[in-house]
């Protein structure tokens, strides 16, 4: 490895081996294997992006090199970095920065999981979202008026489709002014939120950074003295949804505190459950799509810095201030479109304005899995696709692909068809309902993985290579993922397909639906609606039971930690636990539960309280 300073740039060089794999780099529209790509770190409003669109909304200048052992590299710069992974020079990685210095952190493995864990030790461990975050979420640009919002939830419930979270997009505002309501559309927002809560639905409202330039607008006056500036100390302005806007300088601690207080008041007054941050790349309606590079920010020590050097961190500091404001009122939740390394401390991330196409659906998995490898475990995409018209089969397959992602939200543009699940033809509606039901049944496992992520940074969804680092085939698999260490998910992503080829890595696998065993390092044909395979050596808690398949250990979290450990014919709990238990591929007729002997059928034990179960 070496560094070189040239005129107005610094370069970092690293050798690139022929069999070396490169993973990570955050949100990029490329396959999981980043070798032979060139990409730019510059948060950009990328409406309607597709494969190889670059840059996108989130910049995380961190990559993982796997050459037998894994090693991580983090270039800590918020400016416009370029990563050339063996394109310009076949045998080298070249990273360039427009600054006159470069700070690089190196993380030793040997496993990919070790690298991710150490990276999160540096940039910050993820926040733990509230449990309701992991339910079924719905959104639209935009749902209104007030009565229609309530009817919308009722229509879902009539069809037996649960709704756990509802988002309100910018049309709830008065002329797109932040922290206001359009009283013609939402005459009584407090009553609306109260009624939705009574229906079991949480409410999240959108906020953009652009504050309307209007001297009669109280929020505009409130932030005077704390806006992004021009070089001559006048206020920087740019056009966004409300018209001409000004922008809080989130690099200024006083501006962040004022924003936190304003968010706190907003959430408290209307009993809201979270905040959704959009347009925070930052996005402006101009040729460059963002602030002028010579716009000026004020840091905590009073130092002035040009926007070009801190661009990618604007959303990070906005999320920090927003999260602080929300958590002063209730269990904090923030969803953001943009971010930088460490964004996981404050927010979940969705992949922005995707399109309703089969090709774009196939892009979402490598994109989200790479974000997960980059320290951001709570990720998702707009289910069904945001832009364009979505056919019912596509929506159903989107639901299947996404039903085990951390964020599970259907979101749609206003200039497209209605893709709420209750609007689908019966065949596809039932597919969606089954996907939602599967997710809800696995919430104990998913929430435990989320808890583990908050403690150590390990992703909830993982590329196969994360679990099977020594299996070369796994680096080329972009249409499967692991949910935690135990469950392989292989959604059908081709129009009209009724089956697919699935790669099973080394080991023994159990078809989740048929319970047929398969030996790994092999391709198999799966004919199930959503192919799932359970890895031998797993403990997987569901709403109905704890599934045991071979010898393993698992940290269950249900408001407290419970350590589970299994052997082929035994399960141990660190403290008394009440549950049904099923040992897969066991033929026992009896079991010893602590000191009592009970009957069981093929390793299935109905609800018991135990610290130890041994099959007899």
pLDDT tens-digit map of 243-264:
999 999 999 999 999 999 999 9
Catalytic residue among 182, 281, 400, 479: 281
What percent of the chain lies above the pLDDT cut of 70? 100
Q: In the chain, what is the greatest distance between 2 CA atoms, to the nearest angstrom? A: 82
Confidence of residue 119 (pLDDT cuts 50, 70, 90): very high
d(CA 71, CA 176): 46
Residue 420: pLDDT over 90: yes
d(CA 175, CA 546): 51
Candidates 334, 419, 351; CA nearest to 141 is 419
Residue 415: pLDDT over 90: yes
User: Across residues 163-170, what is the average pLDDT?
Assistant: 98
Q: Is the peptide bond before 145 cis (omega within 30 degrees of 0)?
A: yes
d(CA 166, CA 143): 9
Domains in the chain, ordered, with CATH? 2-123 (2.60.40.1760), 209-456 (3.20.20.80), 463-532 (2.60.40.1180), 538-615 (2.60.40.1180)
278 a catalytic residue: yes
What residues contact residue 211 under an 8 Å CB cut-off, 6+ apart? 177, 178, 217, 219, 220, 223, 227, 242, 245, 246, 247, 248
Question: pTM for the whole thing?
Answer: 0.97
Residue 332: pLDDT over 90: no
- Give the model's pLDDT for residue 574: 97
Catalytic residue among 84, 164, 171, 278: 278
- Give the model's pLDDT for residue 354: 98
- Give the model's pLDDT for residue 162: 98
Q: Which helix (H) or strand (E) holds 116?
A: helix 112-123
Confidence of residue 388 (pLDDT cuts 50, 70, 90): very high
Q: How far is CA 33 from CA 64, 108, 509, 612, in A?
A: 10, 20, 25, 43
- Give the model's pLDDT for residue 584: 97
Question: Cα–chain-centroid distance for residue 257?
Answer: 26
Confidence of residue 534 (pLDDT cuts 50, 70, 90): very high
- Give the model's pLDDT for residue 7: 86
Catalytic residue among 84, 171, 249, 353: 353
More confident residue, 559 or 11: 11
User: Across residues 508-513, what is the average pLDDT?
Assistant: 98
Question: Structure tokens of 309?
Answer: 């050097």
Residue 371: pLDDT over 90: yes
Where b means 16+ CB within 10 Å and e means fewer, 333-370 reads bbbbbbbbbbbbbbbbbbbbbbbbbbebbbbbbbbbbb
Burial environment of residue 25 by CB neighbours within 10 A (0 to 12, 13 to 18, 19 or more): buried
Question: Structure tokens of 31?
Answer: 């396959």
Confidence of residue 568 (pLDDT cuts 50, 70, 90): confident
208 a catalytic residue: no
Mean pLDDT value across the chain: 97
Helix axes 189-198, 253-270, angle to 10 degrees: 70
- Give the model's pLDDT for residue 559: 87
- Give the model's pLDDT for residue 111: 98
- Give the model's pLDDT for residue 321: 98
Q: Is the peptide bond before 282 cis (omega within 30 degrees of 0)?
A: yes
- Give the model's pLDDT for residue 375: 98
Residues 201-244 have pLDDT tens digits of 999 999 999 999 999 999 999 999 999 999 999 999 999 999 99
User: Across residues 316-344, what is the average pLDDT?
Assistant: 97
């Amino acid at each position: 490895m070496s560094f070189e300073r040239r005129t107005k740039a610094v370069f970092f060089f690293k050798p690139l081996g022929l069999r070396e794999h490169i993973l990570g780099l955050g949100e990029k529209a490329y396959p999981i294997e980043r070798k032979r790509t060139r990409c730019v770190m510059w948060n950009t409003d990328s409406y309607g992006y597709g494969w190889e669109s670059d840059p996108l909304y989130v910049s995380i200048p961190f990559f993982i090199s796997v050459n037998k052992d894994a090693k991580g590299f983090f270039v800590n710069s918020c400016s416009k970095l370029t990563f050339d992974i063996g394109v310009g020079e076949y045998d080298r990685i070249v990273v360039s920065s427009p600054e006159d210095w470069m700070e690089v952190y190196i993380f030793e493995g040997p496993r990919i999981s070790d690298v991710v864990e150490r990276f999160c030790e540096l940039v910050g461990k993820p926040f733990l979202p509230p449990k309701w975050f992991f339910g079924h979420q719905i959104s639209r640009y935009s749902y209104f008026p007030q009565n229609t919002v309530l009817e919308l939830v009722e229509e879902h419930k009539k069809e037996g489709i649960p709704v756990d979270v509802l988002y309100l997009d910018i049309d709830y505002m008065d002329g797109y002014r932040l922290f206001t309501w359009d009283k013609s559309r939402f005459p009584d927002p407090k009553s609306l939120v109260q009624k939705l809560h009574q229906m079991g639905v949480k409410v999240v409202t959108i906020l953009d950074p652009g504050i309307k330039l209007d001297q009669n607008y109280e929020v505009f006056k409130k932030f005077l003295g704390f806006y992004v500036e021009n070089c001559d100390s006048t206020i920087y302005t740019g056009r966004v949804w409300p018209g001409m806007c000004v922008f809080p300088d989130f690099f200024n601690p006083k501006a962040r505190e004022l924003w936190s207080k304003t968010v706190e008041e907003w959430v408290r007054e209307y009993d809201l459950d979270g905040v959704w941050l959009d347009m925070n790349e930052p996005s402006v309606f101009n040729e460059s799509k963002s602030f002028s590079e010579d716009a000026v920010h004020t840091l905590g020590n009073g130092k002035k810095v040009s926007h070009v050097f801190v661009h990618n961190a604007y959303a990070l500091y906005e999320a920090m201030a927003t999260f602080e404001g929300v958590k002063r009122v209730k269990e904090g939740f923030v969803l953001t479109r943009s971010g930088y390394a460490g964004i996981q401390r404050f927010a979940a991330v969705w992949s922005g304005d995707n399109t309703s196409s089969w090709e774009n659906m196939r892009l979402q998995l490598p994109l989200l899995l790479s974000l997960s490898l980059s320290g951001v475990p709570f990720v998702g995409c707009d289910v069904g696709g945001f832009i364009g018209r979505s056919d019912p089969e596509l929506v159903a397959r989107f639901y299947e692909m996404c039903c085990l992602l951390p964020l599970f939200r259907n979101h749609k543009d206003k200039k497209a068809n209605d893709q709420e699940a209750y609007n689908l033809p019966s065949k596809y509606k039932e597919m969606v309902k089954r996907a939602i039901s599967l997710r809800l049944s696995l919430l104990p496992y998913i929430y435990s993985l989320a808890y583990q992520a908050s403690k150590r940074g390990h992703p909830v969804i993982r590329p196969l290579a994360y679990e099977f680092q020594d299996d070369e085939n796994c680096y080329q698999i972009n249409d499967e993922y692991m949910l935690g260490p135990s469950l392989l998910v292989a959604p059908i992503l081709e129009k009209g397909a009724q089956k697919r080829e699935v790669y099973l890595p080394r080991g023994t696998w159990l078809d989740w639906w048929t319970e047929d065993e398969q030996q790994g390092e092999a391709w198999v044909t799966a004919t199930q609606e959503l192919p799932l395979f359970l890895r031998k050596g797993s403990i997987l808690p569901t709403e109905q039971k704890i599934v045991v398949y071979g010898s393993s250990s698992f940290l269950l979290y249900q408001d407290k930690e419970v350590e589970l450990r299994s052997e082929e014919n035994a399960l141990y709990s660190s403290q008394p636990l009440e549950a049904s238990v099923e040992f897969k591929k066991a033929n026992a007729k009896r079991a010893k539960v602590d000191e009592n002997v009970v009957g069981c059928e093929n390793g299935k034990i109905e609800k018991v309280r135990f610290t130890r179960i041994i099959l007899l």
